[in-house]
Each structure stands twice: as structure tokens, then as C-alpha cells.
Amino acid sequence: MSFLSQNASTILTLTIEHLWLTASAMFFAAAIAIPAGILLARSPRWARPVIGIANILQTIPSLAMFGFLLPLPWLGDRAARIAIVALTAYALLPILRNTYAGIRGIDPSLVEVARALGLTSRQRLFKIELPLAASFILAGLRTATVTCVGIATIAAAVGAGGLGELIFRGVASVDNRLVLAGAIPAALLALAADGILGLLEKLTAVKQ
């Protein structure tokens, strides 16, 4: 505890960096994957190849992903950009898959009734499809967020900051206190994100 109190400001700074990396990646992932999931639900023939590409991105080891991005001219000069792009890639699959599954799982008769009532495609999307698929989408966001929090610790390997810095420092110096100082806050962030989004998911399911 004395070690944590002595290094509280450093841990807080790195925690904020970790949150910023994760939040930025989740923003971009959601902005890409939710519209893409909606489009795939409209054109199911493209679902398998597109989701397959997202699945391939998910299987690339995190260190390898950061290594692939390092030589790129626009990304390589900013470690934070590399981290955000890599984390965004890892977050795409659960959001994309759940958005697609949530919209495709809606009872077609509801959509037909809405069409018969004269609702436009946009109105059906925002008044029927997205509200009914909200719990599925939130489940995807929940999974993606927890994944991002964990993988963001690897971002320190390319100098992007975050709690991974403490973990790498601790491993290099064989100091378990540093490892725990990075690992415990990262685990707490993942648990907090999972709990908050899980609660929102349950509330959305109850409203439905």
C-alpha cells in the first residue's frame, strides 16, 4: 500500500492515458462497426466475407499488430495513433457481429407492419430495429470494451503509454510491485466497464 500511495500520481496519469486510448478506440470502432452491421443486415450476402475479415483481424497477435503498423508513415511517428488503430481493429468484430445479429434477429412481421404503416427505411431503423437490437449491440460493445482495456496494456510496447508501462517496467526490473500497480488498475477498469455496460444491457432488455 505504501508503494501505491507513493506512486499514486504516476498510476493516476497512466490510468487516464489508458482510459483515453480505450475510449478513443471504442469511439472509432463503434462509428465503423455499427453502421457496417446495419448495412450488412440490409445486404446479408456480404455478411460472411466482411465478418470474416474482422475475425481475421481479431486473431492477429497484439504485438504483431503493433509491429505491422509501425512502418506506416502517418502512424509510425505517433505511438498513440498506432495503439488506437490497433485497438479499433480488435474491437470491430464483437460490435459488428452483434449489430448484424441483433437486426437480423428482429421478427420480420414487425418490419412488415412498420412498412405497411408507411414508415420510411430510416424511421424503421431508428424507431424499431435499433431499439429492438439495442441489447445485442450493447453486448458487443461490452465485449469489445473489456477486450480493449486488456490489449491496451500492450500499447506501452510502442511507447503509447497507459498502465502497460508499469507492467513492462516491472517485468524488466523483476519488480512485482510495478507489475501489480499496472495490472490491478487495468483489471479494475475492465471490471467497471463490464459492470456498467452489463447493467445498461439488462436495462435495455427489460424495456424491450
> CA 134, CA 6: separation in Å to the nearest integer?
43
pLDDT at 75: 63
pLDDT at 27: 96
Neighbours of 31 (CB within 10 A): 12
Using alpha carbons only, how large is the chain's radius of gyration in Å?
A: 20
Contact 187, 152 (CB under 8 A): no
> CA 87, CA 197: separation in Å to the nearest integer?
18
Output the DSSP codes for 51-110: HHHHHHHHHS-HHHHHHHHTT-HHHHT-HHHHHHHHHHHHHHHHHHHHHHHHHHTS-HHH
How far, in Å, are 30, 42, 53, 108 from residue 105 at the CA level?
20, 12, 22, 8
pLDDT at 81: 86
> CA 64, CA 197: separation in Å to the nearest integer?
29
**Joined grid coordinates for residue 35:** 453502421
pLDDT at 153: 92
Neighbours of 118 (CB within 10 A): 7
pTM, rounded to two decimals: 0.89
> CA 54, CA 24: separation in Å to the nearest integer?
19
Fold designation for 2-207: MetI-like fold (1.10.3720)
pLDDT in tens, the chain (208 residues): 666 677 788 889 999 999 999 999 999 999 999 999 999 998 989 999 999 999 998 888 888 888 888 877 766 557 888 899 999 999 999 999 999 999 999 888 888 888 888 888 888 888 888 999 999 999 999 999 999 999 999 988 888 888 999 999 898 988 888 898 889 999 999 999 999 998 988 887 756 6
Alpha helices in 105-175 (DSSP H): 108-116, 121-124, 130-151, 164-173
